[in-house]
Structure 1
Amino acid sequence: MSSHPNNENAEPAQPERSGLSRRKLFGAAGVTAAVVGAAGVGALAGRASAAQPPNHLDTAVPFRGQHQAGIVTEAQDRMHFATFDVTTKSRDDVIKMLADWTEMAERMTQGEEAFPNGSIGQNPYSPPSDTGEALGLPPSQLTLTIGFGPSFFVKDGVDRFGIADKKPAELVDLPKFPNEKIDPARSGGDIVVQACANDPQVAVHAIRNLARIGFGTVAVRYSQLGFGRTSSTTRDQTTPRNLFGFKDGTANMRSDETDRLNKSVWVADGDGPAWLTGGTYLVARRIRMLIEQWDRTTLLEQERVIGRQKGSGAPMGLDDEFQELNFDLTNDKDEPLIDPVAHVRLASSKNLGGIEILRRGYNFTDGSDGFGHLDAGLFFIAFVRSPVTQFVPMQNAISRNDAMNEYVRPTSSAVFACPPGIPEGDKSTFWGSTLFD
C-alpha cells in the first residue's frame, strides 16, 4: 500500500553514555527476567529479541542530530504511536513539559531510565520516577519522534499559546477522501510521539513515562501498537510483508538517497516558518484490512489488485522485485499485465507526476470487531515535505479507483509538523523550543 549521509541520526550506533543504564542496573539475568515478565506486550507478534540479531537490541540510536531520529533511521520492528491533547491553558506548563520530555527522551533512547536513579534509592512512600518495566532491557534502537498538530496552534479559532503566527500553511487537517470511515476519537491530536524500537516493551515504556509526566498538561487522545514494519529505510533491510501477505514498500526511499529525501521529505528554507526548516510532516492513517474477505480471494485476483506477484514481489510480467514497473507489458489478448486499477500503478511516482513519499508503517491486530472478524490492518505512516502537494494528490488517485479499496477501510487520519533535530551539545534547545522564542 502504497539517508542521509549528513544526518547524524542515520549512524548505526553511538558509544554508551555515562550514568545508570538499564543494562548496567541488572545485567544479563535482569534482561532475561524482564523479557519473561513482559510477554504480554506485543505477544501476537512475538518478542523482538527472538527475531533480531543481538546488536539490534544493544544498539542505541543517537537522539541528537540534524533531523529527528525515527524518520530515516533503520526501521525498527515495533511501534507505539500516541497522540495527546493539551489540557492546560498555561503556556509555561507546556514549555516545561516539552523540556522535561526532551530530557527524558534522550535518556531513554540511550538505554537509561526516564530520570536518574528513577527506580531505586528513593523515598519508598512516594511513587518512583520511572515505572520500571524496562529495567534491565537494552536500548533496542529506541527512537522518539515528536510532531505538532494543527490544533496545537489554533483550536476553535483561539490562539492557544501565542504561536498561531508560527502555524505552517501546510499544516491543515486532511480532507475527506472516498472509501474511508474516520473515527474522530482516533484522529487528530495536538501532539504526537512516535516510539519505535526492536522490543515492544521498550517502546511502550517510553510512551507510558512521557504520558505519566505529562499528566495535568496533556492527556492521551489515542494510541496504537504496531508490529512487523511494513517498509524499509536502509538497503540492508529486506522488504517486509503486510497482512495481505505481499511485500510492502519495495520502492521506498532509503536513508542514503540524499537528493530524493531533500526533494520529498525535508522541509527546506523558505517552504514555511523558519522553525520547521529541516523538519518534515508526518501523515498517519489507520487502515483496516478486510482480512476475511481477502483470504477468500483467488491468488490471480490478489495479484491483479496489487500489481505484483505474491511470492517474489516482482511486478507482473517481470521476475525480480526491484525491477522498474513496466506499464506497457501486455498479455496475448493485448491486456496490460499490470491492471489499470492495480494499486502499484495508481500509487507509483510515474502515475503521480513524480510524487514520492517516505513510508514507515506497521501492521496491527487489535482483537476482533465483535462480529467475528479480525480488527487488523496497516497503521500507515508517511513523512513528506508537503502533505498538500504530495499526500493529498496521491490519496485522491488511489481512493477513487484503486482495486484495493474493496478490501481496505481507513478509520483514522492525522497530520503533524515535526521540527528538525536538536543539535549536539545544545542544552538550551528542547522539542519545540523554537516555537516559543
Structure 2
Amino acid sequence: MSKQNPRKQTAAKQATAKQATAKQPTGGKNPGTRPGTGSAGAGGGRIPAPAAAPAAPAPEADGAAAKEFSRRRLLGTVGAAGAAGLVVGGAGGAAGVSAAQDDAPKALSTLGSTKVPFRPARAGHQAGITTPLQAKGHLVAFDLAPGSDRKDAAALLRRWSRTAEELMAGRAPDADTGVALDAGPSSLTVTFGFGHSFFGRTGLTKRRPLELDPLPDFSADALDPKSSNGDLWIQIGADDALVAFHALRALQKDAAGRARLRWQMNGFNRTPGATAHPMTTRNLMGQIDGTNNPKPSDQDFDERIFVGRDADQAWMRGGSYAVVRRIRMLLDDWEKRSRHDQERVIGRRKDNGAPLTGGSEGTPMRLDANGPDGMPVIPANAHARIAAPESNQGAAMLRRPFSYHDGFREDGAPDAGLLFICWQADPLRAFTQVQRKLDRGDALSPFLRHEASGLFAVPPAAEPGDYVGRPLLEG
C-alpha cells in the first residue's frame, strides 16, 4: 500500500481530471468516464456517471474538501439519499416499534452518500437517537485509565469529538488506516455517554444526575459484571460494515493511554433498501418487532425522550438516558413452538404484526376484547399487552436496538439475540417501570436471558467548536 499523502493524491487526481476535460473536443462524444465520477454499485461494479456531472470539489486551504473527496471518490455525483425509515425494535424490555418515513426506498447505489451531521440542528440532540436505524452497529464501553483525572477525560472527549465529526462528514481523520477510504459516510453516527462510575473517577459526584442511579435487580437477570456498565459508552451505527468498523478502530486508537476497553458488542439490522418498501424490521425470533414507538411528530415526544429545561443538572438539558441490555434469545426453544403459540406469547400475528384483535400492524390493540370462551383475545400475559403504555400509566421509551449473533454455544444453540437500547428522559419512569411489570409475568420471559446491562447519561450535542460533555467537565 502506498504511503503517499492521500491529500496530495487527491489534488493530483483533480488536476489530471481538469487537464483531461480541457483537452476534450467541444461538441464531441466523451470517450470515457471521467476520473472520480463513477459510483460503486451493489455488486462493486462501476456505474457510468450522469452526463451533466458537476466537477469534484476543489481542495480548501485546510484540505477538508480534498479529504472528503478522497473518502467518497467512488460515489461520484450520486445524490444524497434519506434512509428508508426509522426502524427500531425491542424484546424483553418492551415491545419494539417503528416510525417509518413516507419516502420510497432509495436506490442501493446511493446508500453510502447519506450524511448525518455531528452537530444536528434539531434541538441539539446527539445523532444516533432519532436517526433512522442503521444496518451495522457497535456498542463499546471504556473505563478511564488508572490515574486519569478530569483533565484527562476532557482531553479524550475533545479528541473523540473531533474524530467523530470528521468521520461522520465522510472525511478521513489524521493518521487514517484507509479501511473506509472508498466509502461515503453511509449514515455513520457516533453517540457518547457517561456511566455512573465516571463521576466518581473525575471528582464530579455532585454533578451526577439522580436519574443515573443504578437500575434495580430483576428476577430474570443473569448479568455478567465484566460486560456491564462502564465509565464511558459509545454507540456507533452505519449502513456499511467497513465504515462502522473504521469508526470503532479510530475511536479505540484515540483512547490509548487515557481509557481502556471494558466491553464491546457488535450488532446488525436489515439494510435500508433490502425490502420492496419501507417496513418494520423483524427480530431473530421472526417477529415484526416494532409498531407503536413514540414518533418525533408526537406532541409529547421530546418530553418523554429528552431531558427538559427544568432539570437539576443543567449540562444534561436536551440530553437523554440510554439503557443498554444484551438479551440472549433461546431460539431453539422458541422455534419448537407452533406459530399459534408464538403469536399468543407476543399478542400479535407473526405474518403482518397486527394485534390478535384484528386489523393491520398499525391498528390499536383492543385490550378489553374477549373471545367466545370469555377469555381475553390478547392473553393477559402477552408481551405486547404487558409492555403497552396503556398498561404502564403511559410509560414509553424510544427503542432503537440491534440484533446480534456471536457464534454457537457448546450445546449447539446460537448465541444470538438483541442488543436492546432504549432512550428516555427518566429511566425510573420508563424502562424500570415497564421492566418491573414484565418481570412479574411476561409470557416471553422464559425465552430470554438478560446477560449484560448498562445505564448511561447522554448529554446534548456539542456546540460549534466545542466537544461533547464540555459543560460537565469544564462548567
Partners of 1:230 and 1:240 within 8 A in 2? no
**Does structure 1 residue 151 correspond to structure 2 residue 172?**
no
CA shift for structure 1 position 384: 0.5
Residues 307-346 of structure 1: matches in 2 within 5 Å? 307-346=347-386
Does structure 1 residue 71 correspond to structure 2 residue 71?
no
Tell me the distance in 2 between the aligned counterparts of 1:396 and 1:52. Answer: 43
1:186 partner amino acid: S
> Contact 1:73/1:255 (CA < 8 Å) preserved in 2?
no
1:99-154, CA deviations, whole angstroms, 9 ceiling, x for partnerless residues?
11111100000111122xxxxxxxxxxxxx22221111110000111000000002
1:179 aligns with 2:220: yes
Cα distance change of structure 1 residues 111 and 26 upon mapping to structure 2, 3 Å threshold: closer
Q: 1:376 aligns with which of 416, 421, 426?
A: 416
Structure 1 stretch 302-311 or stretch 361-370: which is displaced more?
361-370
Give yes or no for the alignment of 1:215 onto 2:256.
yes
Q: Secondary structure at the match of 1:284?
A: strand
Partner in structure 1 of residue 115 of structure 2: 60
Corresponding residue for 1:192?
233
CA distance in 1, matches of 2:116, 2:269: 19
Bigger mean CA deviation after superposition, 143-152 or 19-28: 19-28
Alignment of 1:27 onto 2:73: yes
- The AA in structure 1 aligned to 2:162 is E
Deviation at 1:209, TM superposition (A): 0.8
Indicate conservation of the 8 Å contact 1:81/1:193, yes or no.
yes
What residue is the counterpart of 1:431 in the other structure?
Answer: 468
1:268 to 2:326 alignment: no
Cα 1:221–1:325, aligned 2, differ >3 Å: closer, same or farther? Answer: same
Find the residue that maps to 1:19 and give its secondary structure.
helix
Q: Do the aligned partners of 2:113 and 2:184 also contact (CA within 8 Å) in 1?
A: yes
Residue in structure 1 matched with residue 268 of structure 2 by the alignment: 227
Q: Measure the CA separation in 1 of the matches of 2:75 and 2:368.
A: 59
Evaluate the alpha carbon distance shift between residue 304 and residue 201 of structure 1 in structure 2; reply closer, same or farther with a 3 A threshold.
same
Closer, same or farther in 2 for the Cα pair 1:230/1:382, shift >3 Å? farther
Partner residue of 1:405? Answer: 445
Contact 2:72/2:170 (<8 A) preserved: no
Letter in 2 for 1:136: D
Q: Does 1:109 align with 2:109?
A: no
User: Unpaired segments of 5 or more residues in structure 2?
Assistant: 1-56, 77-105
Structure 1 portions without partners, runs of 5+ = 1-15, 31-50, 116-128, 155-159
Residue in structure 1 matched with residue 283 of structure 2 by the alignment: 242
Q: 1:317: how far off?
A: 2.2
Distance in 1, matches of 2:107 and 2:441, equals 38
Asked if 1:91 corresponds to 2:150, the answer is: yes
Once residues 335 and 140 of structure 2 are traced to their aligned partners in structure 1, the CA distance between those partners, rounded to angstroms, is: 31
Contact 2:75 2:113 in 1 (8 A): no
Q: Which residue of 1 aligns with 2:183?
A: 137
When residues 344 and 226 of structure 1 are mapped into structure 2, their CA distance, relative to the original with a 3 A threshold, is same
Cα distance, 1:325 vs. partner? 0.9
Question: Hey, what's the Cα distance between the residues in 1 that align with 2:342 and 2:368?
Answer: 20
Give the % identical residues: 36
Worse overlay, 326-335 or 401-410: 326-335
Please say if residues 229 and 360 of structure 1, whose CA atoms lie closer than 8 Å, have aligned partners that are also in contact.
no
Q: Does structure 2 conserve the Cα–Cα contact (< 8 Å) formed by 1:265 and 1:384? A: yes
Distance 2:378 2:412 in 1: 34
309 and 184 in structure 1: CA distance in 2 versus 1, 3 angstrom threshold: same
Query: Following TM superposition, by how much is the alpha carbon of 1:203 offset from its aligned partner in structure 2, in angstroms?
Result: 1.2
* TM-score calculated relative to the size of structure 2: 0.76
Kept in 1: contact 2:304–2:424 (CA 8 A): yes
Check the 8 A contact 1:359/1:382 in 2, yes or no: yes
Once the two structures are superposed, the pairs formed by residues 264-303 of structure 1 within 5 Å of their partners are: 264-303=304-343
What code does the residue aligned with 1:110 have? A
Give the stretch that moved more between structures: 307-316 or 165-174.
Answer: 165-174
Partner secondary structure for residue 301 of structure 2 = helix
Whole-angstrom CA distance in 2 between matches of 1:83 and 1:229: 24
State the match for 1:119 in structure 2: none
Report the Cα offset of residue 23 of structure 1. 5.0
Equivalent residues of 1:285, 1:380 under 8 A apart? yes
The CA deviation at 1:302 is 0.2
Contact 1:229 1:361 in 2 (8 A): no
Could you tell me how far apart the structure 2 residues matched to 1:310 and 1:79 are?
Answer: 26
The RMSD of aligned alpha carbons is 2.2
CA distance in 1, matches of 2:448, 2:461: 35
Partners of 2:249 and 2:437 in 1: CA distance = 38
Q: Take 1:337 and 1:373, find their aligned partners in 2: how far apart are those partners?
A: 33
CA distance in 1, matches of 2:110, 2:439: 40
CA 431–68 in structure 1, closer or farther in 2 if over 3 Å, else same: same
Which whole-Å deviations, capped at 9, do the CAs of 1:240-296 have from their partners, x for residues lacking one?
000111111111122333x23222101002223000000000100000000101111
| 2:425 matches 1:385 | yes
Residue 23 of structure 1 contacts residue 138 of structure 1 at CA under 8 Å; is this kept in 2? Answer: no
Distance 1:90 1:370, change over 3 A: same
Contact 1:287 1:379 in 2 (8 A): yes
User: Residue 187 of structure 1 contacts residue 413 of structure 1 at CA under 8 Å; is this kept in 2?
Assistant: yes
Question: 1:150, 1:358 → 2: CA distance?
Answer: 21
For the residue of structure 2 that corresponds to 1:27, the secondary structure is coil
Moved over 4 A (4+): none
Residue identity opposite 1:430 in structure 2? Y
Aligned residues: 377
Cα distance per residue 1:27-65 (max 9 Å; x no partner): 3299xxxxxxxxxxxxxxxxxxxx973333211111103
TM-score calculated relative to the size of structure 1: 0.82
